[in-house]
Structure formats: C-alpha cells, structure tokens
Chain A
C-alpha cells in the first residue's frame, strides 16, 4: 500500500492530523491498532479547559487552552457543551491560592468572574455549604468520541483513508529514512506493507514503543488517571477545586452524567489502564468536601486513561509539562519520521497543526492550515454517541412502533440496527463493543446487565452473530464493563451487580459456557 503520509495512532491527535493534512490536499492514511480513541483520548475527562487550571503553574498551557477552546467552540460546536465552569474553594483550602487566582487569570487573558459563595450555591445547589470562594470561567465539556468520528469523516470526505485493527510490527529503514512499514491487519488476519513519504508517530502512550521499533528514542512516562462516572448529572457547570492542582479536583458534566477525576499514578506500561478501587474511594473522600453529594451518589463505573508525558525532569508527574512534544527524528538520522506526543485534548488541533506544518515543510506542500477556520461538519457516524439524543428523537418522532433495547439510555431497536449496518463486516471483532463505542448502549446505570443479553438476541435475529459467537461476545462485553464497575462497587452499584450476576450466572449460566465455539 502506498500513501504520502502515514499516521500511526487513531486518537485525538492522529485523527486531527489526518483531517488537517486532508484539508491541505495531502494524501494520508491513518492506521490504528484497535479502534478510535483506544488510548488517552478515550479515557479522559472530556474537559475543554478554559485554562484556569494552569494559570498559576503553567501560563503557556493556560493561554493555549484559552485560544484553542475558543476555536473549537466556534468550529466544532456539536461536540461541545458550553457549560462554563466554577473554581470553588471550601473551608480549609489555601486562602492565598484562592485570592491570587483572579490576577493569574487576567495575566493569561482568561476571563474570570468572582461570585459570592451564596450565589455560587444558588447556581449549583450541590456545592458544599462550606464554600468560601468561587469564580466563574469559560470551561466547557467536549465529547472526544464524537470529535474523533467527525474528524475522520471530514478527512475521509477529502480522500483520506483509515484502517482500524491494524498494528505496526516493524519498520524497514534504509539510508536514513523509513522505506516500509510492516503492519498486521487483524480484520483480514494478514500482514501488509505500507510505503509512505512521511511517517508520523501519533500513538500517544505507545509513542515510545513505536519509536523504538523505528530505531528512535522517545522517553514516555505513563501516568494513569482514573475517573468516576455518576449515574446522573450533578452540576450544570464544570466544578474545579480552587487549590494547587491535585487529585479529585474536577467534576465535569458529560451530557447526562458527571465525571469526577482525576489521579496521577505512574504505571509501567501503556496497556495498564485499569482503574483501582483505592483511587476511586480516595477521590470520593476528597471531593466530597467540595460537593457532599459525591459521598452518597451512585457511581456507575470508573475508567482510566494513560497520559503520555514526555519526560523533561524530575518531580511529581503533574509538574511534567502538559505541553506537547513535537520531535523531528532527523536528529537521530531518520529524516522522515516525526513523533507528536504529550499535550491535552483541548489543544489537539494545535498539536495537529504544528505537526502538519512540519510534515508539509518536509514534503514541500505550501498550503496553509485550514483547521483554524474551517468548521468541522457533524457526521452521521458520531450521531448516536450524544447522550440523550436517542430519547429526544424518539419522543418527538412519528414512527413510534419501537422496541427499546437499551432502557437506561432509551435506545430503540432501529438505532441499534442503524449502528450495526454502519459497522460493515465485523470479522471477528465484537459487535457489542463496537455498538457501545458508537452509541450510548451499555453506558447507563445498568452497564450492560440487561441491554447486553437483549442486544445479543437482536444480533442473533439479524444474523450478525451465529453459533456460540454471540454468547462469547456477550461475555467479553460484560467483562469490559466489569473492569469499570469493579472499582466503584459500593452502595447501589453493588445491588445492580448482584442482580446482573444473578441473571448472567444463576439463570443464564454464562460462566459455565466455554469461550470456544
């Protein structure tokens, strides 16, 4: 296979870069080991930073966030909810930090409005009565899945290509450049070779591994962040703790739920994205001082993402710059290999722009970047990931002879059918997991306890699965959900789980079912 630019990695950066290059008319191909947003882009807070979090420690990052945030709000509004945010300090938090906050903000040009604590509690009734200071900023909530799907769709409309389930197995280098990239196509179960003029390593936490395969050196520190998802949305705005940045500082609204996070635990491998109970309990006990309801509310699951931090020095990983790192490996005698890593979701577009600029300089393309001005069209494939979309359409639609397959999120059979048809030939990959990625199915409080078996029956009816395949997929789907449920197993969640285990094991005896056909 041939292309001009090969992008390795289908996260926010990779897909953003794909679009940027495609808009400049550069033929490009993106290969991704698993599915879109399989790394940090699929395990983050969904926060569109106003920059307020960085004003005291990293002014550069703060300003970047503000600028990029404004661009994204204008150009990709479908992926963003302009919720605004509050920075809130409670009794016992560092008073001087709180009082210096507004001046730091204005230094970085970040709008920040002081609020009376009573006013803040009127706006956000779940805030603690011990709130002593509050400031409003322009935070937002962003949907990284819809963002990636929309970026890919727009890029594809301009001729770009993407291959999922395709992982790099090796590089052939000659004379100071990469000639061929060897990959394994999991879907077709065959090896392939790709020839490209430029190879971009946008594989996030795996950047070190890919670079090593190419003969380059990228030091990546893997920092795991665990987040908890609540059953319902606890605040209208993003709520930030007004103190020196630490764990459990932020509660971000994610459509119909709230997401509490995060931690920063150094792990050895980028595949080690397992949220632990200890991290979850610790965060709840800390954040409940800011919002007491966090102690008693119901958490439906937890998840973790691995941040790739490019090591620059010692100290707490949080102090490693969140700024990104764009490396031209010509210095290591591979002159058509670039690594882009680090950064945060909010600044993905800027990272892609800088990378595309470097790529274009190398291949002699002089077209300017269009992503600063060109709107990102909303794509069909991203449609059903929006929380509440399905019930809203269902409620006001005319064809109401529907059967709900996912009760939690009110997703009817027709929508699941539409998503399934868009999947094409699954060839061994789990349809349930794919549906879950492209819609809200399994993301509600029951976490697949009921919708799993129901959608499995539907898949059998539609002939998408046969033999014992459907049951095997159901088990793997349940196991994936379980990874997220296990760390928040207390209270109501434990009740739901016992019901689920009673259904899946006591009645359906799935644990006794072999995984082989």
Chain B
C-alpha cells in the first residue's frame, strides 16, 4: 500500500476529470487523479457547448449563448444555471490553451456554432473543433468542390454515403475509395495515423489521391492524420495536394481520443498531477475535520490517498459513476442519493430516438451553486466535495449537445470554489 497525500483528489479521468485535474494543478494545488479509460478516449474532439434546446422540439441553434439563456430560464435545475456565460468561456479558453500547447490547436470563434460533417453524412453543430476539422465547416458552407477520400478497410466511413447524404445539397462533393498505402485488410485510425508520421508515406498517400482530385479545393479524409503531429501532417498533405485538407471524424475508436489521451498523459504529469491510471476508488472515508482518505486500486487496493478535498467526476453509466440496477440507480463512490425518474419503467422511452430523450439520462447527483453534491437530507454532503460533468443531474448532454462544454465548465467552477475554500483555510 502506497500512501499519497494531496490537496485535491480528482475521481474520474473523463473530460470533466481531466479538466478538473488540469485546472487544479494550474492553480498550484497538489492533485492526485484516479480513473479508467473510456472517457476522453471516445471523444470526438468537438467541444459542444449547447446545440439543441428544447430537445423535445429538436430545435438546433447557431448561437449557443442565447440558446443557453433560454435554457436557464426553462430548465432551472440544469447545471448551466449555476454558471455564468463568462465563466464558461473562460474555462474553455484555458482548456483549449492547454490542448494547443500540447500540439492540438482548436478553431471556431467561440461565439457561434460551427456546422461540420459527420461520417454518417449528417451535419453536426458544435462550438469549438480541432483545427484539423475546421475547414470542413467552410467547405460545407461554401459548397466548394470537395473530394471525400474513403479507405477500403476502414469500416463505417463510406464515400458513397457522404455523397448520397451530404451531396444532396452539395453537388460539388465527390468521393473516392482508395487503398491506404502500405496497409491491407482492416484499417484502424491509430495505425494509419502512426504510419503517416513518415513523410514518404504521406507522399504515397497524396500520390494515390491525386488522380481523383479533379478541381477539388478541399480534400476530406477520415480523422487519422497523425496524433500530436496532426498539424504538420495536415499542412504537408495540403501542400502535396494543392487543396485544403481536413478531417471528418470516424466511428470509434476515434483518433481524437488517442490525441486527447496523449495530450493529457503528457501534460498533466508535467504539471505535477499524480495519475493513478486504470485504477478506481474502492473505499472512502470522510474525516470530520474535513478531508478524505480514499483506497484506490485495480485488482486489489494499492494506494491510500489522503486528500483535503475531492472532485467527483465519475461520469454517468458508461463512466461507472452511476450504476443502473434492477430497481434503482446508485452513485458508486459515496452512495450519494441519485435524482432519478420515479420507477425503472420511466427510465427509458419506448422510442430510442425519442426527441424528449430518455429520463434516465438526466439522472445524477443534486448539487448547490458551488457544485457541492447534496446528501439525503438535501444538505451539502461534505464541505470539501465537488462534482463535475455527467454525474450532475438535470441535463442530457447527449441530446442537448453540451457534453464537453458542460464537463469543462463545471470542472472549472468546482475548482474555483475549492481553491477559494482551501485557501480560506478549511
């Protein structure tokens, strides 16, 4: 058993957990973090702030901020009601600055939503996107001549699908399906990305694409143009092809997940964050004087963490922050009561694509204006505990399209609040 002590224990390694660890470390707090993979690893890289409101009407918005004003009025328990617009923008600014420093620059002006193509051929609105994907918004908006390149063996990414769907309103969109130079059979974005770190491979790829170029001003690839060297690779390919190259996300496992993981795996330890990766909190002890002791482990208990404070960023069902049992939903770390629909039959709609979404997706822990979780009696569960991200009740990040934005902003506010409290000597 190894003993660790820290100012903040971040429980969770998804978007909210990583953001919380980042912000806390940047504020000079000592941070330990436990969590498993599966959070940022499935990230599309898009930073959704708010895309649809109200979900029941499937109403999409180009201006996330005014939509958010409406949302705050109409859904009083939503986490966004405890956040000011300036705070959200600041949190995103710091988050993006970190990613930029790691080699993942972001685009979008942050004022209005971008409209970007998806591999299904639908169009998604998001607030900020990786720079490698940004030209897709321009290409889509201007309906400029564009070549979409698909690879034989990369599943779920079909050039024909894109021309059949997007192409209805974008006649200048053409597609080509080619072999990826040097690889046969099934393809994975990560392997293609690693192969493209070799300039010769990029030249061979350009060579294979060139015959299909025509008058294309843009060339769309599935997202696999490198990992943290993606800017260099995209630029080089643009030069080779004489067209602006951009990426369209793929089906999982997505390359942006790999990029985010590389960025955080390198960047957080450099800030002094002590990462206990693929380990979960298996036992908690609250101390009356404030603070916690957590036992953390994989197959067995390995670490004992004494923390002055903690941030619960464990996600929803996939993140294992909440567990659905036959008769109820439980919070898995502290067993804080979960706000949930009255009975299991109410959890899910009969229609998978029900515009109203599924009530179970809005379950989570209740919280106050500082994002402290509330216990059974409605009182603050513990003075030094905060919660961030999908574990919070009252929002449906999947249908509202507010996942990463909400995760980052609530993490930021949670860290703000904790810092003030810890510096105030609690």
Contact = CB atoms under 8 A, between A and B. Distances in A.
Complex: A in contact with B (CB within 8 Å): yes
A275 to B, nearest CB: 12
A505 B398 contact: yes
Contacts of B168: 467-468
Contacts of B252: 450, 503
A456 interface: yes
Interface in A377-418: 401-405
B275 to A, nearest CB: 23
Classify chain A: how many residues form its interface, as a range. 35 or more
A138 to B, nearest CB: 34
Contacts of B177: 461
B397 A461 contact: no
B187 to A, nearest CB: 9
Interface in A150-197: none
Given A471-B120, A499-B318, A512-B60, A403 B186 contact: yes
Give chain A's interface secondary structure class: helix
B185 A402 contact: yes
B317 A508 contact: no
A490 interface: yes
B405 interface: no
A508 B351 contact: no
Interface in B119-133: 119-124
A287 B325 CA distance: 17
A501 B396 CA distance: 11
A409 B119 CA distance: 24
B122 A450 contact: no
A454 interface: yes
A479 B353 contact: yes
Contacts of A504: 352-353
Interface in A344-373: none
Interface in B160-204: 160-161, 164-165, 168, 177, 184-186
B397 to A, nearest CB: 7
Nearest to A514: B58
Contact of A461 (B121, B158, B348): B158
Contacts of A490: 324-326, 344
A514 to B, nearest CB: 9
A475 interface: yes
A465 B120 CA distance: 13
Interface stretch (A127-135, A229-237, A277-285): A277-285
Nearest to A280: B326
Given A494-B324, A508-B122, A509-B124, A501 B361 contact: yes
Given A403-B186, A486-B348, A503-B251, A511 B353 contact: yes
Contacts, number: 149
Interface string B391-418: 0000001110101000000000000000
A513 interface: yes
A509 B60 CA distance: 11
Contact of A498 (B317, B344, B352): B317
B158 A457 contact: yes
Contacts of A495: 317-318, 320
Nearest to B252: A503
B261 interface: no
B352 A482 contact: yes
B122 A470 contact: no
| Residue from A284, A458, A479, A512 with most neighbouring chain B CB atoms (10 Å) | A512
A457 B164 CA distance: 11
A454 B156 contact: yes
A502 B161 contact: no
Interface string B52-67: 1000001010000000
A460 interface: yes
B42 interface: yes
Contact of B324 (A402, A489, A499): A489
A489 B317 CA distance: 11
B5 interface: no
Contacts of A468: 164-165, 168
Contacts of B353: 475, 478-479, 504-505, 510-511
A508 B155 CA distance: 15
Contacts of A402: 185-186
A489 B118 CA distance: 28
B317 A403 contact: no
B122 A460 contact: no
B155 A454 contact: yes
A466 interface: yes
A506 B401 contact: yes
Contact of B185 (A284, A401, A461): A401
Contacts of A276: 345
Given A450-B251, A460-B160, A491 B403 contact: no
A461 B175 CA distance: 11
Nearest to B327: A281
Contacts of A285: 326
A457 B316 contact: no
A102 B122 CA distance: 63
B186 A461 contact: no
Given A471-B121, A489-B347, 20 more contacts: A403-B186, A454-B155, A457-B155, A457-B156, A467-B168, A468-B165, A470-B165, A471-B122, A489-B324, A491-B325, A498-B316, A502-B398, A505-B398, A506-B44, A507-B124, A508-B119, A509-B122, A509-B123, A510-B353, A513-B122
21 contacts: A278-B345, A402-B186, A404-B155, A450-B252, A453-B156, A467-B168, A468-B168, A470-B165, A474-B120, A475-B353, A486-B348, A494-B324, A495-B317, A499-B42, A501-B352, A502-B398, A503-B251, A503-B252, A511-B353, A511-B354, A512-B52
